[in-house]
Structure 1
Amino acid sequence: MFTRRIILAGAAALAFAGSASAQDWKAKYPELTFAVVPAENASGVTERWTPFVAYLSKELGVKVTLRIANDYAAVIEGQRAGNIQIASYGSASFSRARLTGVKTDAFANDMNADGSTGYYSVFFVKASSPYKTVEDLKGKNLGLVDPNSTSGNNVPRFELNKMGIANAEGFFGKVVFTGSHENAVLALSQGTVDVAANQWTNEDDSTLAQMLTKGMLKNANGSAMKKDDFRIIHKSALIINGPYAYNTDLPEDLKAAIAKAFFDAPTKDKAAFDRLSDGQKKGFHPATTKDWDGTTELIKFVDGLRKKAS
């Protein structure tokens, strides 16, 4: 009996300690801000993320507010200032944050439907165009996404360098930052650029596939464009999916609660989880900051290319 009492008392003490600890961080963080960068128009991002953010609020027991950042730099600076506690990063922007001293740690990334955790950077052209290789596009216009985009700027420049094109601005007639993955595809479809860099996981999982499903791309006569209206002329090596990261200085039990909520999402709120990726993702994969060490080295390399070109 004595032993049983001690065990029960110990369990009660642990439960109380855990509860008290949770109350401590909830008092300090009565509201958390979760930032994402729009790969699509702002209303689309809101519709995609709002159910998941509501799920996080319920699981964590504090209000979680969705912040749609204008660009990757805004997420980086928001975490630096401590105004953003949780962030959805691209691989390159996360590495940029770490390289510039932001205290942020990765805890998860997306798991694809087949269980893999990577994607590709591709160069799209219109299928009706004569271009077969990137080299065919000398003097033509290139559409990129954002300076801190992985698949929309950094990996494309790395790939171009492997082709002997160290200075994209010197090779192409014009290099345009369109601001989002959707805008890069739109610029290509409308003829503003001749080739566009973008993200691609497979034929059914990409920004292009999402836009075609929504009927966002039109031909000159107003008819809906189709998948075979576009062609990939170059695909990069596999890129690790970008991380979800929290501020390093958050209380450990809060960080553990955030990670658990993410990993439990596919079973606890499947509808909210599926809404994030149109049902294209399997779940969240546990990750650590070191998983992006390779991307950090790539960013350093691309920075070196820019310095040589300037």
Structure 2
Amino acid sequence: MLNRRTLIAAALAAGVMAPPAAQAQGWKEKYPELTFAAIPTENPSVTTDRYSKLADYLSKELGVKVDFRIANDYAAIIEGQRAGNIQIAYYGPASYARALMTGVETEAITRARRNNGSTGYTSVLLVRADSPYRTLEDLKGKTLALVDPNSTSGNNAPRFFLDKKGVKTDSYFGKVFFAGSHENAVLALTQGTADVAANAWYADTDTHVTRMAEKGMLKDAAGKPLTPDDFRVVFRTDLLPGDPYAVLASLPAELKQAIKQAMLDMPKKDAAGFRALSDGKDIEFVPTEAKEYDGVIEMLKFNDRARRTG
């Protein structure tokens, strides 16, 4: 037999358990437009060409406008999510870890699997193949081009793994500077403003060097075209977790799940757009989560302590 209390409880439950269509309509009213931003690993035109396709695909799948924005630097992604202005972000592992360490409520949802089966990559120190530098010992006192303070492969990983070899980056090299992007670090090497450059190495056939060579971007100071064979790796780190795509934790659960599922479906639903993200080097998106980056957080804590103690 129904009483007044039972009827009230049933009415409340009916309000909470809104059908999926009503829930979706609710978040679309609150988020009629979303912002997706990416770290500046390459020059602006290349970055825009890659990730605007993902933004367009998400717009179609989600049914709301998704605008793409290139961050000025890695820290801008962190601060944009902290302020709630960037709902979807493409991070590097270290910038994502830094966001978590500084209280940004962001959730990693996917990362790419490459055609070699790996969902991670390494950091390398590159030199010109026509240089005399073949070992770490040869690089003492030379000029090192890093990428960005919050870059994983372009700063934090080489510092961490070099320290394990007894190399203190800032005192070992004669000069250390940040180039601003992976491409700029490679260009510093080709133009002779750096003797060695830190960079990401996804696979032997997929690096910023190979991508730049395919686009005709590699030339020496005299204008002579260069190929990947004109570079040599003198140091390589252990494997690092791949770059995560992350969403604001405060987004409605239905929206977060919709973004994640759309990305997992992208290789089949928009094969051309997915290929553009990596020049065809990735084969799929796979789920990921914050705990996959615990090791990166420990790496950053180590580097922070080393910087404070000199």
> For this structure pair, what is the TM-score category when the shorter chain's length is used for normalisation?
over 0.9
What amino acid maps onto 1:238 in structure 2? L
For residue 269 of structure 1, what is the aligned residue in structure 2?
270
Q: TM-score, normalised by structure 2?
A: 0.93
For residue 35 of structure 2, what is the aligned residue in structure 1?
33
Task: Answer with 18-27 or 48-57: which moved more.
Answer: 48-57
For residue 96 of structure 2, what is the aligned residue in structure 1?
94
**Which of the residues 39, 42, 48 maps onto 2:44?**
42
Q: Offset at 1:136?
A: 1.2
* Root mean square deviation of aligned Cα: 1.5
For residue 224 of structure 1, what is the aligned residue in structure 2?
225
What amino acid maps onto 2:295 in structure 1? G
SS in 2 for 1:115: coil
The answer to whether structure 1 residue 292 and structure 2 residue 307 are counterparts is no
User: How many Å separate the matches in 1 of 2:303 and 2:77?
Assistant: 21
Note the 1:236-247 alignment, pairs <5 A: 236-247=237-248
Q: Offset at 1:102?
A: 0.2
Q: Contact 1:131 / 1:137 at 8 angstroms: preserved in 2? A: yes
What amino acid maps onto 1:235 in structure 2? R
Q: Offset at 1:16?
A: 7.2
User: How many Å separate the matches in 1 of 2:23 and 2:221?
Assistant: 60
User: How many Å separate the matches in 1 of 2:127 and 2:205?
Assistant: 18
For residue 12 of structure 2, what is the aligned residue in structure 1?
none
User: How many Å separate the matches in 2 of 1:57 and 1:162?
Assistant: 45
Q: Contact 2:41 / 2:182 at 8 angstroms: preserved in 1? A: yes
For residue 308 of structure 2, what is the aligned residue in structure 1?
307
Taking structure 1 as reference, are residues 296 and 226 closer, same or farther at Cα in structure 2, changes over 3 Å only? same
The answer to whether structure 1 residue 164 and structure 2 residue 166 are counterparts is yes
The answer to whether structure 1 residue 62 and structure 2 residue 64 are counterparts is yes
**Which of the residues 57, 74, 77 maps onto 2:76?**
74
User: How many Å separate the matches in 1 of 2:243 and 2:97?
Assistant: 10
SS in 1 for 2:79: helix
User: How many Å separate the matches in 2 of 1:147 and 1:240?
Assistant: 18
For residue 3 of structure 1, what is the aligned residue in structure 2?
none
Q: Contact 2:145 / 2:185 at 8 angstroms: preserved in 1? A: yes
User: How many Å separate the matches in 1 of 2:175 and 2:186?
Assistant: 16
For residue 254 of structure 1, what is the aligned residue in structure 2?
255
Note the 1:145-164 alignment, pairs <5 A: 145-164=147-166
User: How many Å separate the matches in 2 of 1:220 and 1:295?
Assistant: 36
Identical pairs, percent: 56
What amino acid maps onto 2:198 in structure 1? A
User: How many Å separate the matches in 2 of 1:169 and 1:201?
Assistant: 26
The answer to whether structure 1 residue 140 and structure 2 residue 142 are counterparts is yes
User: How many Å separate the matches in 2 of 1:25 and 1:156?
Assistant: 42
In structure 1, the gaps of 5 or more residues are 1-12
CA shift digits 1:191-248 (9 cap, x unpaired): 1010000000112111111001111011344231011110000111101101110000
User: How many Å separate the matches in 1 of 2:109 and 2:142?
Assistant: 41
Q: Offset at 1:117?
A: 0.4
* Number of residue-to-residue matches in the alignment: 296
For residue 6 of structure 1, what is the aligned residue in structure 2?
none
The answer to whether structure 1 residue 128 and structure 2 residue 130 are counterparts is yes
Q: Contact 2:109 / 2:244 at 8 angstroms: preserved in 1? A: yes
Q: Contact 1:118 / 1:201 at 8 angstroms: preserved in 2? A: yes
Q: TM-score, normalised by structure 1?
A: 0.93
Taking structure 1 as reference, are residues 16 and 96 closer, same or farther at Cα in structure 2, changes over 3 Å only? closer
User: How many Å separate the matches in 2 of 1:193 and 1:215?
Assistant: 20
For residue 114 of structure 2, what is the aligned residue in structure 1?
112
What amino acid maps onto 2:192 in structure 1? G
Q: Offset at 1:37?
A: 1.2
For residue 199 of structure 2, what is the aligned residue in structure 1?
198
User: How many Å separate the matches in 2 of 1:55 and 1:103?
Assistant: 25
Q: Offset at 1:47?
A: 1.1
User: How many Å separate the matches in 2 of 1:36 and 1:221?
Assistant: 33
Q: Contact 2:32 / 2:64 at 8 angstroms: preserved in 1? A: yes
Q: Contact 1:114 / 1:282 at 8 angstroms: preserved in 2? A: no
Q: Contact 2:186 / 2:209 at 8 angstroms: preserved in 1? A: yes
For residue 234 of structure 1, what is the aligned residue in structure 2?
235
Q: Which runs of 4+ in 1 moved over 4 A?
A: none
CA shift digits 1:112-164 (9 cap, x unpaired): 11221010000000001111112211111000000000000000001210121
For residue 6 of structure 2, what is the aligned residue in structure 1?
none
Q: Contact 2:114 / 2:281 at 8 angstroms: preserved in 1? A: yes
What amino acid maps onto 1:178 in structure 2? A
For residue 7 of structure 1, what is the aligned residue in structure 2?
none
Q: Offset at 1:60?
A: 0.2
